[in-house]
Amino acid sequence: MRLVRAGARLSALRLTLALALIAILASACGSSANAGSPGSQTITVAVVPGPGNAPLYVAVRDGLFSQHGLTVHIKRYPALAPVVRALRSGQAQVAAGDYTDFFYEQANNQLSLRLVADGYDATPNMTEILTLPNSKITSPQALEGATVASPEPQVITATGSLPYDIETLAAQAVLESDGVSPTSVKWKPTPAQDMISELRNGQVSAILATEPYVLKAESQVGAQELIDANSGVASALPQLGYFSLSSYALGHSATVSEFRTVLFQAQAASSMRGPIQRVLPKATGMSASDAALITLGAYPTYLSVGQVQRVAQLMFEAGVTDNLLNVKGLVAR
């Protein structure tokens, strides 16, 4: 009788151990699946709403992410600094914004980043230096000694004549190619909504503006283009990228890869103006008429490391970074 009870207890122990082992294996498999599979993954993307990230809204609206097992939430912020903070704190897994600010954070060891996707590239007349129609400034050389209203800095502090965002970086590179030293121009960081009034009132001689403020300046005060800031050396310059922390990209490589694939699909569909024009009013607060008339940039359908490297090269040449950033080493795999 004792032998029978002992045997029963042994069988029960074996069964318990077997079930525990199965549970451990199942848990391990589940964890592995979460790291390597995009299924039912949730991603919060931090953005400053604008034309550059409009395809993201298209992809969410049309359910493209959900078709690939991703749940994507867009978190909007008024400026890029809180976008960067959201990424740093883990409130967002992906952030979209000006390449110069993210590259600056990486170069100064403020963040360890991975580049997920190229989101927006420049096209002609998208960013311009504008003057009034009766201005005495009629050539790039005439800007020497003049005051130019420029966008407000976000992450990089405006110091002297150094460029501090993608607009000033591009504009100064074009000016240098025209033989004008950027140090000879007085750059005045100005809220975008105040640029036109300051130009009208003579507080500045010119403004460095991007859409939709190029359109507004042209329609409200008859502003005229002096320089296309995305011409010559800055032609087709990448403007905005999608970034994640390196720790997130490493632990969720399949999810990041799937996010990039879907985003590029949405950007390919955005080569036709219609989808973008329809989401801009709701996404940015822009009027439907402005959305129909602004000059849009280009939405790349793949990540060209060589193209994005141009931004890092210009930053290094301008003295914004002490060392040349290697973009290839930043790409999320």
pLDDT single digits (tens) 258-299 = 999 999 999 999 988 999 999 999 889 899 999 999 999 999
Q: What is the distance between the alpha carbons of residues 237 and 295, in angstroms, rounded to a whole number?
A: 15
Taking the CA of residue 231 as centre, how many other CA atoms within 13 Å lie in the half-sphere pointing to its CB? 14
pLDDT interval class at 12 (50, 70, 90): very low
Contact status, residue 132 vs residue 217, Cβ threshold 8 Å: no
Q: What is the distance between the alpha carbons of residues 170 and 22, in angstroms, rounded to a whole number?
A: 59
H or E segment and range at residue 4: helix 2-36
Contact status, residue 100 vs residue 84, Cβ threshold 8 Å: no
Strands, E assignment, 77-112: 94-98
Predicted local confidence at residue 40, as pLDDT: 53
Predicted local confidence at residue 25, as pLDDT: 36
Total-model pTM: 0.87
Residue 18 has pLDDT above 70, yes or no: no
Q: What is the distance between the alpha carbons of residues 173 and 315, in angstroms, rounded to a whole number?
A: 10
Percentage, residues of the chain above pLDDT 90: 85
Backbone angles phi, psi at 205, to 5 degrees: -90, -25
Q: What is the distance between the alpha carbons of residues 180 and 187, in angstroms, rounded to a whole number?
A: 14
Cα dihedral: 49, 50, 54, 60 (round 10): 10
pLDDT single digits (tens) 218-266 = 999 999 999 999 999 999 999 999 999 999 999 999 999 999 999 999 9
The pLDDT of 151-172, averaged and rounded, is 95
> Of 71, 117, 111, which Cα lies nearest the Cα of 97?
117
pLDDT single digits (tens) 127-141 = 999 999 999 999 999
Domains, the chain? 41-122+237-330 (3.40.190.10), 127-234 (3.40.190.10)
Q: What is the distance between the alpha carbons of residues 91 and 106, in angstroms, rounded to a whole number?
A: 19
Radius of gyration of the chain measured on its C-alpha atoms? 25
